[in-house]
Structure formats: structure tokens, C-alpha cells
Structure 1
Amino acid sequence: MSENAGPQASPGPQQAYLFADPAAHSLSPRMHRAAFAWAGLDGAYEARRVTADELPQAVAGLRHTGVLGANLSLPHKESVVALLDDLTPAAQSIRAVNTVVHREGRLTGDNTDAPGLAQALSDAGYPWSQGAGVVVLGAGGAARAAVYTALRGEQNVWVLNRTRARAEELAADWTAPNPEIQVRAADRHEIPWSEVGLIINASSAGLNAPDETPLAEFDFGTLRPGALVYDMVYKPAETRVMREARAAGVRAENGLGMLAHQARLAFAAWTGRDVPVEVFLSALEDGGGAA
């Protein structure tokens, strides 16, 4: 990644995309268009609704001249892996991709969700050194990035998902080759909540649904003192799980910070330009959506 102190001359038109289903509500175009403008690049970013059946053709189109790559969101972060030429070490470990980088006809999958989440948690003041456990809600691509982030912070992880089999599959991907790693699928009653210092909602529960929660009738007061609830959802800006956590005196943050940080890293991977995260955050101030 090269650093850039300000706008530079544009080398020519460049194109990047978001592939998701749905996609129309995404704020990613707003952020990346602001980044192109700040960097002085002649570039465009388009959010496209791409179904599972359409994904192979959409990914093949990224090999065209002038295309930088794409972001992937629900439901494509895991299925896109089989369509790519290479994976970064992070994407290979996580087995999920949110950023595809095009270089001379080859497509490399990366995962900027994990470092984006780590930076957002750092911004929120989460003390990784405290040794508390982490509960990840969900078992999809975003949950994989959350587990990876927690493990790099040397935390024990419990995965809680509506379908336990999917949680067990996610946990096994880490623990089967590395038995010393503590990633466990669990039902709610199996988790020692007094040891939990961080809950990450990596599911879609609450997205555009103010009354939906992945933790119905949960007593947030049972969490470890100083705990943080981080919800990757950010529309609404305060989800039900955040609202109930705050009512119990527990700190809670939405996913806007993660969204901005992962977008900054994706933009840098495509263009080599290090655009300040404030550019992405400023672009988010006027609306809401999903990554």
C-alpha cells in the first residue's frame, strides 16, 4: 500500500463494483466515490444486485480491462472463493472474501472485514488484553471475519447461531487443524456469560428491522464488567440489541466504523492510494445502509 498525502492526477477511468443481493440500499458507492474524488482518480463504483446464480458471470466480468475489482456482501462472501485465482493469507484463513482485486486478468480474494473490525473495536476502546471471551452471533462470512479477529486478539470464542450445525462447521474450520484454539459452537445456556467481554453481531438480524434481535430476552447485566456489544448492522443506527445493551448499562456500537475501515483498505488494495478514513466516514454521515 502506498501512502498518498493528497489528490494526484488520474491515470484514466477505473471501475469497481459491489455484488450483493440486495444491493440498492448500500452506502459503499457513496464512500468509494468520495475516495476517488479525494485521490483525484477518474473512477466509478456501482452497487449491483447479483443473485447466487449470476455470481460466476459477474465475477468473470471483473477480468476486463479498466476494472479494479469488487466488494462482496451478503450472500456471496463464501461462495465467491471458488471463482478466484488466488487468496491472500487472511482470506485463506477466514475462507470468506469481501474484496476482489483485479491485476492483469487475475483475481485475488482478500478480506478487509477482519482488519476493519479490529480497527473499529480499537476505536471503540475495546481492551484486547483483558483476556475476556468473545461471543460471535452468526456463522456466515462476516462471522468468520469476526472469529478470525477475536483469535488474533488471543480471545476465547463462542459461536452462537440459529442453526447449530453451521456454527459447529465454522468452529471446526479452526479447531480441527489447531486443537489448542478455543472456538466453540454453543447454545445460549452453554456460554459462561460472566466471562464474556465482547459480543459481535455478525448476523443480519436487525438489518432494516428495528424490532429484530439475535438475543431476545437476554440479560446484558450478566456480562463481564466493561463489556462491549458491537453490531455490524448499522441501519437502523441503534439496533434493538444495542438499545437493550445500553439500557443495561453496557456499551454498544454499530457497524459504521467497521464499514469505513474495510472500505478504506479495499480502496487501497485496488488503487494503491491510502485515503484517510475520515473521507469514508464523512461520506456516511448523510445516510444509512449495509456494506
Structure 2
Amino acid sequence: MDQAQQLRNVIKQKNQESPPEHARVITITSGKGGVGKSTVAVNMAVWLRKIGKRVLIFDADLGLANVEVMFGAVPQYNLSDLIYKGKNIKEIISQGPMEIGFISGGSGIAGLSNLTKDQIVYLVHSLAELNEMADVIIIDTGAGISDSVLEFVLASPEIMLISTPEPSSLTDSYSLLKALYRNPTFSKDKARINIVANKVNTIEEGDAVFSKLNSVVSQFLNGNLNFLGMIPQDQELENAIRSQKIVSLERLKASSSQAFRILTDNFLNEKNEQIVIHRGITQLFINFLSRK
């Protein structure tokens, strides 16, 4: 029996047994590296914790470990230890500041396409436990339009695309959007793509990031984007990044820190019935595995 058929059997059983998933999942991605994707993920997590939300970051970047660096922590285990070595889900969760949990995907991401039925069942049931541990799960993908990035983004009901005003960043962001919209499995009715303008110098510059991307998506891809907010590139943020610190913890009154607070508020205040129906970490991984 191939993985696709095994997965269909697991899905059927899960749909019969599992209650609706509680945790809201957001996948953060970018068209190129260096635009601040992990910085947004970590600072959002901090502000979510400040208002009492339980947060977990899933680091799905195969090449880098930016979340680990910013948290100053080296995880003892990663996703591959759960899949192949029988660790339970709690054992592979590391703790960052403010009790922010994070899971390193590690080599486990690359191995998701070759799982046995027992491994799929164990993975899906283990991930279901996260619904009792977190209110919000942030997935931090790699950058660009590699297969692993696209698979995660295509499986996600809520997507946050980080772009800067630089022409190369805008071009790469559009390339990622084009790859999504032109994929036959992408449903623009079941997914929301949120744009975050990062490293902006003025409000007008941030607005322009969104208007340029939304204009080309509307004109050439028959789609619409949502503008979630903008983050200024201030000196406090630059200093925090250089020293591998988190500006929302170290410099609460910095303009960038307050911008992350507003961004988090905007995220929490968004409503979409389709997202509520299709959200959930196990559903995301089922979607992901179904694509393999």
C-alpha cells in the first residue's frame, strides 16, 4: 500500500474520531531570505504570550535555524526523533523565553514523503496533542520557492508573506505568489494570504509594498491579498538582530516592537469562516502529506 492510500485511511479514521482542532495555525514564508521572516515569527510569538496566548513555533526551515539562534537554545530533539525514534510530542518541544514552545523540523521534514502507515498514524495523533498545548501555532518555513516551502504553504489555510520594499524582494514575493496561484491544488477560496511589509522607512513605503503586490496578483492571477501590517526598520530592531535578541522583549517601547504588537492584534482580529473550518495543525500536515 503506498503512502497516499495509507494516508486516506488515516484521514478517514481521524475524521471519525477527532474533535475540531483548537489551535489556530499561521504559516510564515517569504520569496527570498534575509527579509526578516523568523524575526516576525518570534516577535509575534512574544506579543501573543504577553496577552496570555499559548504559542508554539514549528521551525520548518531545512537550511537555517534562526528561531533557535534568536531563542539562544539548542533543541535536544527534533521531528525526526518523534517519527523514527519513538519520542513523544512533549519530548521534542523545546522552551524559549516566556514559555514559548518550539519544535525543530530538522531532517524530519525531508523524510515526510517516505513514511509507513504506522509512522503516519503516530505523527498525526502526536500532532493532535498540540491542540491541548497551544492556542496559536506559527510555522516558520524556509525562504523561496523550493518544493518543501511550496508544499507547506499550499497545505496552509493562513499564510503570512513577508516582503521588503526592495525590488528584488518584491519580485521574489510575486514569484512565490505566482507559483501558488498557478498550482492546480491551490484554492484561493480556502486560503488567506496576508502581506507584511518589513524593513520600511515610511508608512507610504509600507503601503506601496502591498499595493504593488496586490495589483499584479489582481491583474495577472485573478486574486486578492490582505494587508496585515508593516514593521519599520529602526535602530533598536537592528541592534536586537545583531545581538541575537528579541526586540519585543528587550525594547518594549521601540517603534518596531509596537509595530509587532499591532501586527499581532491585526492577526487575532481577523475572522474567516473557511479558515476556522480548515485550520488545525493535524489538518495542515494531512494536507502536506497528501501532496507527497
Larger helix fraction of residues? 2
Larger strand fraction of residues? 1
TM-score after normalising by structure 2? 0.31
TM-score after normalising by structure 1? 0.31
State the structure with bigger RCO (CA 8 A, min sep 6), 1 or 2.
2
